[in-house]
Amino acid sequence: MNKNIRLFLFLTILLIANLESFLLLRHKSPFISDSFFYRHIVYQYLGNDYNQARNRVIETLPAKLDQISSNFFYNDSNYRKALKHFTKRPFYPWLVGITYRFTNQEYLSFLLPQLLALNIVLIASIYLFRQGLTVAGAIISTALLAAFPPVIEWTTYFTGDIIGASFWLLQIALLFKLIQKPKETNTKIIFMAVLILSLLNREQSLLMNLVVPILYLSIKSQPTKRILATVWKLTVLISIIYLSVLKLTEQYTILDTISYLRNNYGLSENVYTFSQNIPFILQSIVYAHQSFLMDLIHHRWWLAITLTGIIGAVFAMKRPKIIDAVMLASAIGSYAAIFIYPSFGYKYFFPIVISLIYFSIKLIRYNHSYRDVPPQRTLQIPRTVVGPDRQRT
């Protein structure tokens, strides 16, 4: 395919995805419960004190709220508790505050980081798809991703979830590059910087502590294993420091969040121990998978992509390339989130969708689209299978 045609098709997909976001924004409010608490933090960044920020948030609330929303917006004690779930995620509000100083328009300041993140997700996906697929396969895969409704939908909710997906894919792309060229120190430094920023946006990147060791076990090359071991140690160190800061600043832990969820987002005030939460967690995991299966039944073309993606992953592991291992590790790491915070939502599991699309398209072109992997780069994929959070306040 001609290079100019290739570029034109990729840019067309990006353009259509952005236009679709604008069209959706014409018919909906992008501010949901989470967004108002991010709004509060932005107001404080811009110089308001707590009471001023809260009053400004309340002034912008919809006229009608359900019982849960009314409970934590109009009750100051519950408002403070709900806000505490977001003070440990300062990146998106900080980005909005910086943008506001240039635009002086609140709506636009919330929107621009979301659109930037959407384009990073699509561009990073194009990059990853292109490593293991033909040009045509990469174009089709990117188009399928852009056509996956939750990707565009969550861009048009001002919650920062699409930003979390962009951070994840940047980290996956950097890991792939690091495996390809283990001597590039700059790649390792950039990976760590992205990891730190991603943790300030959302805790999801703690799961890199699972992704990196999966890749370590998948690689035979000793120089590559050494660099991955270093990255793994640094990832664990950063995660420990992050969790320690959360503890020292008395931020909510995952158990606090699960208890908050069980209490209908603060509507009740029951206290649950870890052992008391286990049955609820197990039940929620089952329910999340049931919800996912029901969605697949109602959207049969995504059921087809899911099934062919799983089959494609099995076939790809017979003669795996490095990119296959990276895409599989990304999916496993993202899927593991459901076992930590068992609340189903596609917005947390975009990496799984991307990997399923990748292996599905690869299955279609399996017999004649790929170069063999050089012997020294042959991988051994572990057989471990790890079992795909929307937090609402």
The residue with greater pLDDT, 256 or 365, is 256
Q: What's the pLDDT tens digit per position in 224-277?
A: 899 999 999 999 999 999 999 998 988 888 888 888 878 777 677 777 777 888
Evaluate if residue 181 carries a pLDDT over 70: yes
SS (H, E, C) the chain: CCHHHHHHHHHHHHHHHHHHHHHHHCCCCCCCHHHHHHHHHHHHHCCCCHHHHHHHHHHCCCCCCCHHHHHHHHCHHHHHHHHCCCCCCCHHHHHHHHHHHHHCCHHHHHHHHHHHHHHHHHHHHHHHHHHHCCHHHHHHHHHHHHCCHHHHHHHCCCCCHHHHHHHHHHHHHHHHHHHHCCCCHHHHHHHHHHHHHHHHHCHHHHHHHHHHHHHHHHCCCHHHHHHHHHHHHHHHHHHHHHHHHHHHCCCCCHHHHHHHHHCCCCCCCCCCCHHHHHHHHHHHHHHHHHHHHHHHHHCHHHHHHHHHHHHHHHHHCCCCCHHHHHHHHHHHHHHHHHHCCCCCCHHHCHHHHHHHHHHHHHHHCCCCCCCCCCHHHCCCCCCCCCCCCCCCC
Say what the pLDDT of residue 281 is.
84
Q: Binning pLDDT at 50, 70 and 90, where does residue 384 land?
A: very low
Say what the pLDDT of residue 3 is.
82
Say what the pLDDT of residue 382 is.
43
Q: Is residue 351 domain-resident?
A: yes
Say what the pLDDT of residue 378 is.
42
- Two tokens, residue 357: 């699309």
Q: Is 104 left (phi over 0), alpha (psi -120 to 50) or beta?
A: left
- Two tokens, residue 346: 């596609």
Evaluate if residue 343 carries a pLDDT over 90: no
Number of domains observed in the structure of the chain:
1
Evaluate if residue 198 carries a pLDDT over 60: yes
Containing structural domain, residue 180: 3-377
Q: Is residue 387 domain-resident?
A: no
* Whole-Å CA distances, 11 to 6, 17, 178, 240, 248: 9, 10, 27, 40, 46
Cβ–Cβ < 8 Å for 363, 307: no
CA 382 to chain centre: 24
Q: Is residue 40 domain-resident?
A: yes
Cβ–Cβ < 8 Å for 387, 286: no
Q: What's the pLDDT tens digit per position in 277-300?
A: 888 888 888 888 888 888 888 888
Say what the pLDDT of residue 366 is.
53
Instruction: Describe the crossing of helices 322-335 and 161-180 by its angle, rounded to 10 degrees.
Output: 150
Q: Measuring CA to CA, which residue among 203, 199, 170 is closest to residue 187?
A: 170
Say what the pLDDT of residue 75 is.
86
Q: Is residue 388 domain-resident?
A: no
Give the chain's mean pLDDT. 86
Q: Binning pLDDT at 50, 70 and 90, where does residue 210 land?
A: very high
- Give the mean model confidence (pLDDT) for residues 166-185: 92
Evaluate if residue 17 carries a pLDDT over 50: yes
pLDDT over 70, % of the chain: 91
- Count other C-beta atoms under 10 Å from residue 219's C-beta: 20
- Count other C-beta atoms under 10 Å from residue 308's C-beta: 18
Q: What's the pLDDT tens digit per position in 48-76?
A: 999 999 999 999 998 888 888 888 899 88
* Whole-Å CA distances, 207 to 172, 175, 250, 306, 335: 12, 14, 22, 22, 10
Say what the pLDDT of residue 261 is.
79
Residues composing the chain:
393
Q: Is residue 288 domain-resident?
A: yes
Q: Is residue 392 domain-resident?
A: no
- Phi and psi dihedrals of 79, rounded to 5? -60, -45
Say what the pLDDT of residue 346 is.
66
Say what the pLDDT of residue 1 is.
67
Lowest mean pLDDT among 106-110, 200-204, 255-259: 255-259
Say what the pLDDT of residue 130 is.
94
- Give the mean model confidence (pLDDT) for residues 349-359: 92
Q: Is residue 390 domain-resident?
A: no
Angle at 339 between CA 333 and CA 345, to 5 degrees: 80
Q: Measuring CA to CA, which residue among 189, 170, 188 is closest to residue 179?
A: 188
Lowest mean pLDDT among 35-39, 220-224, 230-234: 220-224
pLDDT over 90, % of the chain: 55
CA 102 to chain centre: 28
- Phi and psi dihedrals of 319, rounded to 5? -135, 70
* Whole-Å CA distances, 331 to 172, 325, 334, 337, 377: 10, 10, 5, 10, 21
Say what the pLDDT of residue 344 is.
59
Q: Is residue 361 domain-resident?
A: yes
- Two tokens, residue 80: 């403070």
Q: Binning pLDDT at 50, 70 and 90, where does residue 28 land?
A: confident
| Highest mean pLDDT pick, 78-92, 331-345, 379-393 | 78-92
Say what the pLDDT of residue 280 is.
83
Say what the pLDDT of residue 345 is.
65
